[in-house]
Amino acid sequence: MDHSIIFILSMMATCDYIETYFDINTDEEIPFDCDEDVYESGKCKFHLEGYLKEETKDDIIRLFSQKLDEVKEDEPLLCIGYILPSIPLLKNNEKEFKIPAYFAHAKFKLENLNLSHITFKKEISFYQTEFFNSTSLRASVFEGPVDFSYSQFHEESNSFESTKFKKTSDFSHSTLKNTNFEWASFSKAEFIECKFFDETIFENATFGDVYFKKAEFLGNTVFSESIFTATANFEDAKFLQFADFSKVHFNKKENITFNGNISNVSFADTDIKQINFGNRISWELIESSDDKEGKTDSVKKGKNNDFKTYEERLLEENDETKINLESIKNIYRDLRDNFDLNLRYDIAGKFFVREMELKRKYKEKRVEGRLITTKKPICHRILTLYWLYNILAQYGQSYYRPMYFAIPIIFIGTFFFWVECTEQEEIDLQEPCDDSLVSAFIRSLSSFIPFFTFTDTPSTIDYVLRLTLLPISGTFFIALKRRFERKLRH
């Protein structure tokens, strides 16, 4: 066949790339057949792996601009699976991108992608898109829905700072690295099973309905001073590094849900009295390891770490810190009130114990005009009334702990009273009394119960036993009183 005919036929052939994409408006799966001219190996220049290079970048941009010009206003821009550099979406001094655009399965390579300060009037899809370089959508506005689900941001610098998402924004199952959402605003956002590597910043962000269910925060995360105006779901979210929720404002606290391990979360200066902590909530310290593949291995460690906040662990690790001691106490008080309101009294009691332990172990001092939290000397932490109260009854939260101390003492007292009774019987030449052991036990037990009186002729043993059991008895009845008050409160 004539070579010229072959060339003409090849020019008439179209790219064999086939894929499906989701229509954001209808949520339907639509087939996509590329109609671009074949360049090599059955693929067009947009789909041919390896074609995009520094020397071919301008050619790709030219072809993309040509395609953009040909799209009618009522039709979407379909760039399914395209391999692109940073593309110019606007011309001259335009600020609005007025047509729908679908970049599903696309790859942005070669250079940083800059789509900042653009107002997207219609829906935009970056479904399962890969961003190989830094990406910036800073101060952009999405007036229609936007889909970043299953997308991957490979580079460790991505900015959505001051970006406005006025409709649904879906980041579910996506992978984000070192991403900045500071001052961003979301109408409805989904970050379900999203993985956040390195540092993630949502500082001063504003959320409508937002869902972080099963999201993984693998680096430090900042939500400080952000505002949640509606539902926020952190069900089974993993915070494997420090997560700062300080000074956060929850408008509808009853619609805020945390359920999982939050040992690395700080709620300093945040009102959490009425937010919802699920049945799987835990503050037990975890140790995690992760790699860039997103695999994590979390192992519980340490003793008596459950119910300790992140701030208290910092106090334990440092002799002096700038953390305000009163703010940590306030966190424990809010947590105690929260669980009290939800009738979860045992957990509420744990936070009361933690607050009392802070009072026992730490103090504040003023250094150069600033308050510094320091550990008390060991002699001030033990052999004190706080220490004794904790040993005897866990600050009035345990009614069974006093019994551990009281029962052996009562039996020892019973033994001494029985010996005393037996010796008295021998002196008076009386027959042994069958109930002398029972009488000795009742006499010993009366020393534990405050409103019981001594015998008619109390001995030294009676006084010693009562003085020994009095503080134990007092802590027992205080704890018992608290338990019944909680049961009868509602």
Same domain for 470 and 371: no
Question: Looking at 130-139, 277-286, 329-338, which range is the least confident one?
Answer: 277-286
Residue 442 lies inside a defined structural domain of this protein: yes
Same domain for 139 and 98: yes
Same domain for 316 and 279: no
Same domain for 348 and 419: no
| 413 — pLDDT class (breaks 50, 70, 90) | confident
**Residue ending a domain, choose from 382, 412, 438:** 382
| 424 — pLDDT class (breaks 50, 70, 90) | low
- Pairing relationship of beta strands 370-375 and 362-367 according to DSSP bridges: antiparallel
Question: What value, to the nearest 5°, has the Cα angle with vertex 410 and ends 405 and 414?
Answer: 155
pTM for the model stands at 0.83
Same domain for 72 and 48: yes
**Residue ending a domain, choose from 268, 300, 332:** 300
Q: Which residue matches tokens 């997207």?
A: 120
b/e per residue, 411-433, with b = 16+ CB within 10 A?
eebbebbbeebeeeeeeeeeeee
In tens, the pLDDT along 7-28 reads 444 456 889 999 999 999 888 8
pLDDT at 299 over 50: no
Q: Is the alpha carbon torsion for 411, 417, 421, 424 positive or negative?
A: positive
Same domain for 36 and 123: yes
Residues 6+ apart with CB under 8 A from 163: 137, 138, 139, 140, 141, 142, 181, 184, 185
Q: Is the alpha carbon torsion for 154, 160, 166, 172 positive or negative?
A: positive
Same domain for 125 and 55: yes
- C-alpha to C-alpha distances, 444 to 21, 44, 413, 434, 441, nearest whole angstrom: 82, 96, 5, 17, 5
pLDDT at 363 over 70: yes
How many domains does the chain fold into? 3
Residue 305 lies inside a defined structural domain of this protein: no
Same domain for 185 and 253: yes
For residue 362, give its domain range.
310-382
